[in-house]
Amino acid sequence: MSDTPFVRMRGIGKSFGAVRALADVDLAIAPGEILGLVGDNSAGKSTLMKILTGAYHRDAGEVLVDGRPTHFRSAQDSRAAGIEMIYQDFALCGNLDVGQNIFLGRWPRRGPFVDRRRMYADAQAVLQRLKVDVNSVFQRVEGLSGGRQQSVAIARAISFQPRLVILDEPTANLSVMATDRLLQTMQELKRQGVAQIIISHRLTDIFEVGDRVMVLKRGRNVGERRIAETSEQEVLEIIVSGTPEDVAGAGAAAG
């Protein structure tokens, strides 16, 4: 894993009318790194990621990709830079099969017709790269379990050859077995050099696969830790207290 950031966000600010959602927020992530992004429901996590993916425009600050300033005006812009986001609802078409969903909107063609053989072969190749099993690329997505639907959503993102994948509450509605499979998939992506940002309330999952964890509260950075050098309890205390200094002070008082 490289120490040089693939993406760096500096001084990001965003307001919606009189409501300030983000204020002077920094974030950096290196190739192959897994970063947990945590905080309460009004912390600004999704807003920050929507700025990174071009869904929102920032009011202040800068975004650098490979050290170059960028200004994403749409999801297509961020995709072209190698950034993909997988939303909590997966955004799949249940009446279409696995292969069609993976290449939705860009089915390979042979003349005026869809090249179905190539589409399903390519879909199978993406799934094999992820080392996931969804039974069949010909199966309708609506007939898949939640965990396998998520695998399809990840496969669709990976088919764009991203360098960074953002996952929004990826294990929120999964069984224990499906969660384990997803974490294995994330570790496989890490081995392949794909950076990942996990927006999650489940610290256990972040500590299972993450390299760092970053805490937002009321739209501000309030803490960042390397997973190997912290604990779930310390991160939870930062989420609740809002400042690492408060946590240190509380710990000293308790001792």
* Residue 2 pLDDT exceeds 80: no
pLDDT of 1 reads 59
* Residue 248 pLDDT exceeds 70: no
- At residue 94 the predicted structure's pLDDT band, cuts being 50, 70 and 90, is very high
pLDDT of 175 reads 86
* Residue 247 pLDDT exceeds 60: no
* Residue 252 pLDDT exceeds 90: no
* Residue 24 pLDDT exceeds 90: yes
pLDDT of 133 reads 78
Tens of pLDDT, residues 184-202: 999 999 999 999 999 999 9
Name the residue with tokens 């072209």.
80
pTM of the model: 0.87
- The span from the CA of 4 to the CA of 125, in Å, is 30
- The span from the CA of 55 to the CA of 46, in Å, is 10
pLDDT of 172 reads 83
- The span from the CA of 194 to the CA of 192, in Å, is 6
pLDDT of 31 reads 96
DSSP 28: E
- At residue 219 the predicted structure's pLDDT band, cuts being 50, 70 and 90, is very high
Tens of pLDDT, residues 97-151: 999 999 988 888 888 998 999 999 999 999 988 888 788 999 999 999 888 899 8
Q: Phi first, then psi: what are they for 213, rounded to 5°? A: -135, 140
Mean local confidence (pLDDT), 75-92: 91
